Amino acid sequence: MSGSETGTAPVLQVENVEKRYGPVRALNGVSFEGRPGEFIALLGPNGAGKSTLFQLLSGLFTPDAGMIRVMGHNMLRDPVPALAGLGIVFQQSTLDPELTVMANLLFHTGLHGMPRSLAKERIHRELSRLALLDRVNSKCGQLSGGNKRRVELARALLHEPRVLLMDEPTVGLDPASRTDLVKLMHTLKRERSVAVLWATHLCEEVENADRIIVMHKGKVLKDTTPAALMADTGMPGIEEAFLSLTGPVEAPV
Chain residues binding ligand ADP by CB under 6 A are 21, 24, 26, 44, 46-52
| Of residues 147 and 246, the one with the C-beta less far from ligand ADP | 246
Among candidate residues 212, 209, 246, 252, the one with its CA nearest the CA of residue 37: 209
Q: Shortest distance, CB of residue 215 to ligand ADP, whole angstroms? A: 7
Q: Shortest distance, CB of residue 226 to ligand ADP, whole angstroms? A: 20
End-to-end CA distance of the chain: 43
| Of residues 3 and 49, the one with the C-beta less far from ligand ADP | 49
Cα–Cα dist 247/167, whole Å: 23
Among candidate residues 13, 137, 143, the one with its CA nearest the CA of residue 86: 13
Q: Shortest distance, CB of residue 22 to ligand ADP, whole angstroms? A: 6
Which residues, at least 6 apart from 242, have a Cβ–Cβ distance to it below 8 Å? 43, 203, 214, 229
Which residues, at least 6 apart from 6, have a Cβ–Cβ distance to it below 8 Å? 35
The sheet with strand 211-216 has its strands ordered as 86-89, 163-167, 195-200, 39-43, 211-216, 219-224
Q: Shortest distance, CB of residue 88 to ligand ADP, whole angstroms? A: 15
Contact yes or no for 238/205 (Cβ under 8 A): no
Q: Shortest distance, CB of residue 25 to ligand ADP, whole angstroms? A: 8
| Of residues 108 and 201, the one with the C-beta less far from ligand ADP | 201
| Of residues 17 and 140, the one with the C-beta less far from ligand ADP | 17
| Of residues 150 and 211, the one with the C-beta less far from ligand ADP | 211
